[in-house]
Amino acid sequence: MSDKKLYDPFHISSLLARKLYGTLTAPEEAELEAWLNKSADNREILDKLLSESIRKQEIEHLHEFDEETALKKVWAKIGQPESTGRSTLMSYMIRIAAAAAIVIALSVSFWIYKVKSPAERLSYQAKRTEILPGANKAILTLSNGTKIDLQAAQSGNIAYQAGAVVSKRADGKIDYQGAGAATAQPGATAALNTLSVPKGGQYELTLPDGTRVWLNAASSLTYPVAFTGKERQVTLTGEAYFEVAKNSGKPFFVNVDGKQTVEVLGTHFDIKAYNDDPEIRTTLLEGSVKVSCKNSHAIIKPGQMAVNDLKAPLSVRNADLDEVMGWKNGLFVFNDERMEDVLRIAARWYDVDVEYQTDVSQKKLRGIVSKYKNIRELLDNITITSGIHYKIEGRRVILMN
């Protein structure tokens, strides 16, 4: 455990809460043990958290639960910082963290404490559903209908199409070699391939012209094996980040599922266009793009986002690039994001269904979480910041009061 984590009250609070839940992983158990070994004070705090007197008394009054009241009760049990040499800033922060851990445990997972015996608790942990993050996986559908599971395919050449060699590199990425206008027969219809990424997946490929594309979960891209003619055209559903190879004589077009067109010459941009999202967002990082839809068109600059709600003319606004590009960089980045949107993103990445048993329409979230953590990392943070609780049944996440 790094020194930084040892002095991070939020991280310690999370470990303590999981200790109470009985859901610590082996690495987390080791981190908590390192913190406990720092001082007798730390072990005393854990002992107080685990004491039956605290647990039983508070659980009996859960029907009256109020976060502020609960925090005051727990604070009284843990104890205010003393006016001795032990009343350091660290001691003060850890006591706050410990209090927060009990409040979280009481308000989120008090039902776990109904398990009476150690054997029953071990049984609960063994049955606990682990929903792991997504991975690099996709299905490549060739023009003849052949489907190739790219996660299972070995590295090397995996297909030959219209004079092009389709290869899976050692790092798992797909690229096309030898596919250019010169290899296509005059007047011939371009062979189309489709890369489909399921829920719980992501994938990167290099198109025949050298354009690099990163596809997010539940997304697909249809493209020709060779870009012939005066234009380069692809069709997207879902979300993708493009780094388009420059070619001033052959503009690059992204057809967004028939709802919008993005025209570029050579640039870096992200398009988010899921069918269950209320709008299409096109964000520019470098260069210049023209976004066109039924109602209007707009040329956006780096750092700007064009928003298409399919009902009104395009609107252009400044974008939070860290938030937009978080998915590609391995992060969930939320800046006052609506909870429904956060859970929609999580559902795609973790391949789960989300059920709402409480109204979350007024809840917004802010924070950064690694998307390569177990889904509980994200859900615990949602609980801490919003007060909305959850439980997991199979691959269903249930949000509740």
The pLDDT tens digits of the residues spanning 306-360 come to 999 888 889 999 999 999 999 999 999 998 899 999 999 999 999 999 999 999 9
Domain count of the chain? 3
Give mean pLDDT, residues 24-47. 79
Q: What percent of the chain has pLDDT over 70?
A: 71
pLDDT for position 3 = 55
Residues 208 and 188 in one domain: yes
The residues near 310 (Cβ < 8 Å, ≥ 6 apart) are: 259, 279, 280, 293, 294
* Gap between the Cα atoms of 141 and 143, Å rounded: 7
251, 229 Cβ separation under 8 angstroms:
no
Residues 256 and 359 in one domain: no
* Gap between the Cα atoms of 281 and 285, Å rounded: 13
Last residue of a domain, one of 110, 127, 144: 127
pLDDT for position 263 = 95
Q: Which residue has the higher pLDDT, 376 or 87?
A: 376
Residues 283 and 157 in one domain: yes
* Gap between the Cα atoms of 2 and 8, Å rounded: 10
Residues 289 and 160 in one domain: yes
pLDDT for position 6 = 54
Residues 205 and 290 in one domain: yes
Residues 201 and 154 in one domain: yes
Per-residue pLDDT for 395 more than 50? Answer: yes
Last residue of a domain, one of 288, 306, 324: 324
Q: What percent of the chain has pLDDT over 90?
A: 44
| 174-223 tens-digit pLDDT | 988 875 544 445 445 678 999 999 999 999 999 999 999 999 999 999 99
Residues 224 and 169 in one domain: yes
Per-residue pLDDT for 46 more than 70? Answer: yes
- Using a cut of 0.85, tell me whether the model's pTM lies above it: no
Per-residue pLDDT for 139 more than 80? Answer: yes
Inter-CA distances, 22 with 33, 105, 155, 218, 384, Å: 15, 10, 41, 33, 18
| 224-268 tens-digit pLDDT | 998 988 999 999 999 999 999 999 889 999 999 889 999 997 899
The residues near 223 (Cβ < 8 Å, ≥ 6 apart) are: 192, 193, 194, 195, 207, 208, 234, 235
Per-residue pLDDT for 88 more than 70? Answer: no
Residues 239 and 344 in one domain: no
Inter-CA distances, 385 with 18, 22, 225, 274, 381, Å: 16, 21, 47, 27, 6
Q: Cβ atoms within 10 A of the Cβ of 337, count?
A: 18
Residues 232 and 350 in one domain: no
Residues 112 and 16 in one domain: yes
Q: Which residue has the higher pLDDT, 2 or 164?
A: 164
Output the average pLDDT for the chain: 78
- Give the CATH number for residue 153: 2.60.120.1440
Q: Which residue has the higher pLDDT, 381 or 396?
A: 396
Residues 240 and 356 in one domain: no
Residues 82 and 139 in one domain: no
DSSP conformational letter for 288: -
Instruction: Provide the domain limits for residue 339.
Output: 333-400
- Give the CATH number for residue 353: 3.55.50.30
Highest mean pLDDT among 117-131, 274-288, 384-398: 274-288
Least confident of 42-46, 72-76, 346-350: 72-76
Q: What is the chain's length?
A: 401
pLDDT for position 128 = 53
